Chains A and B, each alone.
Chain A
Amino acid sequence: MTNRSPFLISALAFGFAFLYVPILLLIVFSFNESKLVTVWGGFSFKWYGELFQDEQLLGAAKVSLLIAAMSATLATLLGTMAGLIMARFGRFKGRTLFSGMITAPMVMPEVITGLAILLMFVVLEELTGWPDGRGITTITIAHTTFAMAYVTIVIQSRLSQMDDSVEEAAMDLGARPLKVFFLITLPIIAPALVSGWLLAFTLSLDDLVTTSFAAGPSSSTLPMVVFSSVRLGVTPKINALATILVVLATMAIVVAGYIMHRQEQQRKRAMQRALAEQDAM
Chain B
Amino acid sequence: MSQQARSLQDQVARTEKGEASDLLKPLIQIEGVTKTFGDFVAVNNVSLTIYQGELFSLLGGSGCGKTTLLRMLAGFETPTSGRILIDGQDMTRVPPYERPVNMMFQSYALFPHMTVEQNVAFGLKQDGMPRDQVRQRVAEMLDLVELGHLGRRKPHELSGGQRQRVALARALAKRPKVLLLDEPLGALDKKLRERTQLELVNIQENLGITFVVVTHDQEEAMTMSTRVAIMNQGRILQVDTPHAMYEYPNTRFVAEFFGSVNIFEGPLLEDEPGHVVIGCPDLSVPIYVGHGISSREGATVYAAVRPEKIALSKEPPADGTYNTSTGVVEDIVYLGGESTYLVRLDSGRLVRADLQNQTRSSEPELTWHDRVHVSWEHSNVVVVTS
Contact = CB atoms under 8 A, between A and B. Distances in A.
A270 interface: yes
Interface of A: 163, 165-166, 168-176, 179, 184, 187-188, 267, 270-271, 273-275, 277-278
Contact of B96 (A172, A184, A275, A278): A172
A184 B114 CA distance: 9
15 contacts: A166-B112, A168-B96, A169-B103, A171-B96, A172-B76, A173-B97, A175-B97, A175-B122, A175-B126, A270-B154, A270-B156, A274-B157, A274-B158, A275-B159, A278-B161
Contacts of A277: 159
B158 A174 contact: no
Contacts of B101: 172
A163 B109 contact: yes
Interface string B148-164: 00000110111111100
A188 B105 contact: no
A172 B170 CA distance: 11
A173 to B, nearest CB: 3
A168 B157 contact: no
B109 A176 contact: no
Contacts of A172: 74-76, 96-97, 101-103, 171
Contacts of B126: 173-175, 179
A176 B107 contact: no
B103 A163 contact: no
Given A174-B123, A267-B156, A271-B157, A166 B109 contact: yes
Interface of B: 74-76, 95-98, 101-103, 105-107, 109-113, 122-123, 126-127, 153-154, 156-162, 170-171, 174
A188 B156 contact: no
Nearest to B195: A281
Contact of A170 (B106, B122, B153, B156): B122
Given A271-B156, A278-B159, A278-B161, A174 B76 contact: no
Nearest to A269: B157
A273 B154 CA distance: 13
B231 to A, nearest CB: 21
A168 B74 CA distance: 10
B107 A163 contact: yes
Between B95, B105, B106, B162, the greatest number of chain A beta carbons within 10 A of the residue's beta carbon is seen for B105
Nearest to A270: B157
Given A173-B126, A174-B126, 14 more contacts: A166-B111, A168-B74, A168-B109, A169-B170, A171-B97, A172-B103, A173-B123, A173-B170, A173-B174, A174-B98, A179-B126, A188-B113, A267-B156, A270-B153
B113 A187 contact: yes
Most buried by B among A171, A173, A187: A173
Contacts of B106: 165
Nearest to A167: B109
Contacts of A174: 97-98, 123, 126-127, 174
Contacts of B156: 267, 270-271
Contacts of A175: 97, 122, 126
B253 to A, nearest CB: 30
B101 to A, nearest CB: 8
Nearest to A162: B112
A274 B164 CA distance: 13
Contacts of B123: 173-174
Contacts of B109: 163, 165-166, 168-169
Contacts of B161: 278
Contacts of B110: 166, 169
Contacts of B174: 173-174
Contacts of A170: 111, 122
Nearest to A180: B97
A170 B102 CA distance: 10
A170 B95 CA distance: 12
Nearest to B156: A267
Nearest to A164: B109
A190 B186 CA distance: 30
A166 B109 CA distance: 4
B36 to A, nearest CB: 16
A176 to B, nearest CB: 6
